[in-house]
Amino acid sequence: MTMPFRALFLGTIVISLFTVGPTAHAQDKTIKIGALFPMSGPGSYFGAQDKQGVELALEQLNKAGVNGYKFIVQYEDSACSPLPATQAAKRLIEQFKPDVIIGEECSDATLAVMPVVEQAKVPLINAGSSSIKVTEPGNPWTFRIMPNEVMQGINLAENAAKRMNAQTAVLLFENTNAGIGNAQVFKDNFTKLGGKVLAEIGFGRDINDFTSIATRVAGLGKVDVIPTYTLEGQGLKITQALAQAGVTKGGGGNAIQIGTIWLPFGFEQKAGKAALGYIRIVQFDPTDTRDVAKNFAAEFKAKYNADPTHLNAHAYDQVMLIADVVKRGGKDAQSIRDSLAATKNYSGVTGSVEFDKSNQNIKMDTIHYMETKPDMSWTSLKWN
Amino acid sequence: MTTTIVLQQAINGVVLGSLYVLVALGLTLIYGVLVQINFAHADFVTLGAFGAYFFMHLIGGGYILSIAVAFAVGAALGWGINAAIFTPLRHKGNELLPLIATIGVSVMMQNLMLAWFGPIPYAFETPYSSQVIRFAGIFVTWQNIIIIAVSTLTIVLLYAFMKFTYLGKALRAVSQDRETAGLMGINPNQLIMLTFVIASALAGMGGAMLAPVLVLTPFAGTSVIVKAFAIVIIGGFGNVEGTILAGLIVGLIESFTTQFLDPGLIDIVVFALLLLMLAIKPTGLISERREENV
């Protein structure tokens, strides 16, 4: 190699180093987020809406980055079910090597994933699983930003007994950890307040026709409230069957369906008049006047030409909380976990976040009550 | 327990059983003629349901006509898939190949529907779902009346077709002895195609009837297919009359288990009955020699 050619060669390498250097550096400064969402099966509507919230958050964050970090997400289908969720979590951890994971939605799936993330020492942020077991006993690597079944159940039972003056209830729930747990908490607290539970009716996710269940409820006499814990599909059919049987307000009866965070926005429009008077807890109040909520709603509408649902909102919050943690110095799994645990008064679109020792968000402003009006729109009840 | 509630649950059971019969009839027809289980049958049901849904919501068609559309969608799909996939495999002489192919077709169809229609449940409302007739403490929707009427009409027409038409008799001949039927001038391949088309059309129509009852997603059919298989086994594989009887019995078991026991026990009761039938009367409720089936 001649001298001039060698100089040219070395010069090219040096220039390349200067040019490539910062790019390589920027690529290194990436926070990898693994997303465990149900993309198939009866809970797949969760995944579709979660993804929209995540993509909006990424678009906003990656414009400028946070503390020099960009965010990338790898989605895996966890199918709202323990086995596929566990396999998806292992795939994520082994192949993508995330700094933090968000998801799952269904409690059974989240409970199955928790030991996997604990062993891998990757923090998991959950926004959709209400089972108390997620945080009690929980594990140091799992954080929940939504109110758990006990927080929701106690609050719902108190409001049923005190604000709605309900004396009798029939519990309808799917036979899962979350369904059974939610129903049990309501029962315990409603009966403590003097209410009477006339029947507890659990069913599998393969039940399609709820006419027989509605008939049974209709035969139980005067029912004031019907706490219902199911996914959207079965929820629709239950609401319609109860109205057809003349049990609920939507069918000319007196009973009111109530519920915790299970159903997505738009449920009422699908259920039609049968949903009249339904009172349920949602994670995102579209009438929220805080800037963070208003801006989210506006930007979501601009991107998707649709109003956001609480699933969009809580997925968005999960990513934005990670960004907040990175802003506070989180840069890898361990530091993100530690910063998450130290979170105080983070203001998200679904409400505030502050974790207790079990990594459960203790803020009650994440519980928003909505009542379905005759035109199938909502009234925000502002009970919290 | 009042008589009204028992009567109401009996009506609920008959309606549900009629829906199961519509789905199970196609399964039993295919088994009767081909001695083959079609694992993709559930997806024909789902596609029929979506056919009816989009006919109503995109074209603005009426519900009754949408049942015919779903029938046609099922028939076309049955013809296409049998011609493109099952027939060539059947000609290879290995009976396992078309059986395995039905599983492949099922997975493929579910994922195609997931890509086309998305995972969010569709609300399939008909004008008849919310029209409730109340009489002496009993309630029944017009939708339920349509389900019972269409199911009854389908059963009668299918029965008449099998017993009194040349094609029906030819189908029975093929189910009894394919080779001898061929020697008598009957083209078994054409009749196998006809069986697939009828069975798939019934599945599609069943989809249109089920859609207002089911949660309509790309996986809707799979939620009823396990029950349909149970019904076919309880009734006697390939036996149309047994399938009808078993469908109604399973529907009634579901409603009365819900009323008197617990809906969480439905599958236990139904599948306990299935096991009992296999142990005591493996030929099914209406036992006939196999060649008498279909």
Predicted confidence at residue A263, as pLDDT, reads 85
Whether residue A211 lies within 8 A of chain B, CB to CB, comes out as yes
Q: Is the pTM of this model over 0.80?
A: no
Contact between B9 and A213 using a beta-carbon 8 Å cutoff:
no
Please give the CATH architecture assigned to the domain spanning A28-146+288-353: 3-Layer(aba) Sandwich (3.40)
Total number of residues shown for chain A: 384
**Considering chain A, what percentage of its residues have pLDDT values greater than 70?**
93
Residue among A334, A332, A333, A330 at smallest CA distance from A346: A330
pLDDT at B294: 52
Token pair in block for residue A244:
């057809």
The reported pLDDT for the residue numbered B284 is 77
CB within 8 Å: B215 and A42: yes
Report pLDDT digits (tens) over A290-310: 999 999 999 999 999 999 998
Q: Do B132 and A244 make contact, defined as CB atoms within 8 angstroms?
A: yes
How close, in Å, is residue A99 to chain B by CA atoms?
29
For the cut 80, the answer to whether the pLDDT of residue A23 exceeds it is no
ipTM given for this complex: 0.81
Q: Strand, helix or coil at A229?
A: strand
Taking an 8 Å cut-off on Cβ atoms, the answer to whether A45 and B255 are in contact is: no
Q: What tens digit of pLDDT does each residue of B227-272 get?
A: 888 898 888 877 888 899 999 999 999 999 999 998 888 888 988 9
Query: Predicted confidence band at B287 (pLDDT cuts at 50, 70, 90)?
Result: low
pLDDT tops 80 at residue A22: no
B contacts of A212 (beta carbons < 8 Å): 9, 12-13, 16, 254-255, 258-259, 263
Q: What pLDDT is recorded for position A239?
A: 95
Confidence of residue B86 (pLDDT cuts 50, 70, 90): confident
Contact between B134 and A246 using a beta-carbon 8 Å cutoff: yes
**Type of residue at A62:** N
Interface of B with A in 214-273 (CB under 8 A): 214-215, 217, 219, 223-224, 226, 254-255, 258-259, 262-264, 266-267
Q: Is B114 on the interface with A (CB under 8 A)?
A: yes
Q: Per the CB < 8 Å rule, is B15 touching A206?
A: no
Averaged confidence pLDDT in chain B: 87
pLDDT band at A2 (very low <50, low <70, confident <90, very high): very low
Task: Note whether B185 contacts A: Cβ–Cβ < 8 A.
Answer: no
Proportion of chain A above pLDDT 90, given as a percent: 74
The H-or-E segment that residue A198 falls in is strand A196-203
Nearest-10 crossing angle of helices A44-64, A291-304: 100
Q: What are phi and psi of A146, to 5 degrees?
A: -95, 160
pLDDT above 90 coverage of chain B, percent: 39
Q: Which domains does chain B have, with CATH numbers?
A: 3-292 (1.10.3470)
Contact A237 B215 (CB under 8 A): yes
Q: In the structure, what pLDDT confidence band is assigned to residue A25 with cuts at 50, 70 and 90? A: very low
State the Cα–Cα distance between residues A335 and A327, nearest whole angstrom.
12
> Is-contact A179 A129, C-beta < 8 A?
no
d(CA B146, CA B125): 14
Contact B123 A209 (CB under 8 A): no
- pLDDT at B159 exceeding the cut of 90: no
Nearest CB to A215; choose among B114, B219, B259: B259
Residue A238 amino acid letter: I
3-state secondary structure at position A282: strand
**Beta-bridge partners for A352:** A347
| Check whether domain A150-282+368-380 has CATH 3.40.50.1970, yes or no | no
Residues of chain A with C-beta less than 8 angstroms from the C-beta of B145: none
Region B21-39: mean pLDDT is: 86
Q: Is the pLDDT of residue B223 over 80?
A: no
B235 min Cα distance to partner chain A (Å) = 22
Alpha carbons A131 and A179: distance in angstroms, whole number: 8
Pick B186 or A322 by higher pLDDT: A322
Cβ pair A286, A280 in contact under 8 A: no
Beta-sheet pairing, A368-372 with A279-282 = antiparallel
Q: Which residue has the tokens 């035109």?
A: A375
**Residue B2 and residue A251: Cβ atoms within 8 Å?**
no
Of A312, A299, A330, A341, the C-alpha closest to A32 is A330
Whether the CB-CB separation of A242 and A214 falls below 8 Å is answered with yes
Q: Which residues of B touch A51 (CB under 8 A)?
A: none
Q: For A2, what's the count of Cα atoms within 13 Å in the CB-facing half-sphere?
A: 2
Between A and B, how many CB-CB pairs are < 8 A?
114
Q: Please tell me the total number of residues recorded for chain B in this structure.
A: 294
Q: Nearest to residue B192, comparing CAs of B87, B48, B98?
A: B87
Q: Could you read off the pLDDT of A173-228 as tens digits, one per residue?
A: 999 888 999 999 999 999 999 999 999 999 988 887 899 999 999 999 999 999 99
B200–A contact, CB cutoff 8 A: no
Residues 6+ apart with CB under 8 A from A177: A107, A108, A111, A131, A133
Mean pLDDT computed over A369-377? 91
Residue B288 pLDDT > 80:
no
Q: Looking at residue A376, what is its pLDDT?
A: 87
The answer to whether the CB atoms of B130 and A40 lie below 8 A apart is: no
- Write down the pLDDT at residue B188: 76
Q: Which of B134, B215, B258 sits opposite A216 (nearest CB)?
A: B258
Amino acid identity of B47? Answer: L
pLDDT tens-place string over residues A249-292 = 999 999 999 998 888 888 888 888 999 999 999 889 988 899 99
The most confident of the ranges B128-132, B152-156, B274-278 is: B152-156
Q: Report the distance separating Cα A360 and Cα B179, nearest Å.
A: 70
pLDDT band at B289 (very low <50, low <70, confident <90, very high): low
Predicted confidence (pLDDT) per residue in A86-137, tens digit: 999 999 999 999 999 999 999 899 999 999 999 999 999 999 998 899 999 8
For chain A positions 19-48, those within 8 Å of chain B (CB to CB) are 39-42, 44-45, 47-48
Q: Is A341 within 8 Å of chain B by CB?
A: no
Side-chain-facing half-sphere of B110: CA atoms under 13 Å: 19
Work out whether strand A378-380 and strand B132-135 pair parallel, antiparallel, or are unpaired: unpaired
Does A150-282+368-380 match A28-146+288-353 at the fold level? yes
B128 or A319: which leads in pLDDT: A319
Token readout for A193 is 């307040």
pLDDT band at B125 (very low <50, low <70, confident <90, very high): confident
For chain A, the straight-line distance linking the first and the last C-alpha, in angstroms and rounded, comes to: 78
Q: How confident is the model at residue A156 (pLDDT cuts 50, 70, 90)?
A: very high
CA distance A314 to A102: 10
**Residue ranges of the domains in chain A?**
28-146+288-353, 150-282+368-380
